[in-house]
Amino acid sequence: MNTITILVTVTAMASVMFLCRALPLFLPQRWLQLGWLQSLNQSLPLCIMLILLFSSLNIPTSLSSGFTTLLYEIAALAVVLASYIWLRNTLLSVVFGVTCLNLLYLLGL
């Protein structure tokens, strides 16, 4: 990728991010109170976390040491899901998951 392509890509991403963040300020309040939009707003963080976590799992191709890595990642995923259901805090759930994964690697359980 050349410099122009990178600059255009970063500018486009920044514009879309700004539009997504500023759009609720310009929409009528009654649109923001719609039931389906409220439901989407509550379920979207968990769905995004699941997509990101499932896409980052390392699936081993053979029964080797990679299998323990998969078990560690599944355990960390369970911690993330449990803490999100319990606390409803996305940031804390990610921190708990990363901490759990690192502790499992450190202890070598």
Full-model pTM = 0.53
Query: pLDDT tens for residues 57-108?
Result: 766 666 665 678 878 888 888 998 899 899 988 889 889 988 998 999 899 8
Angstrom distance (rounded) from CA 100 to CA 94: 10
Count of structural domains within the chain: 2
pLDDT digits (tens, 9 = 90+) for 9-61: 999 999 999 998 888 888 888 887 888 888 888 888 778 877 877 777 766 66
Q: Are residues 93 and 55 in the same domain?
A: yes
Report d(CA 1, CA 17) in Å as an integer: 22
Same domain, 50 and 28: no
Judgement on whether residues 91 and 68 belong to the same structural domain of the protein: yes
Report the distance separating Cα 93 and Cα 80, nearest Å: 5
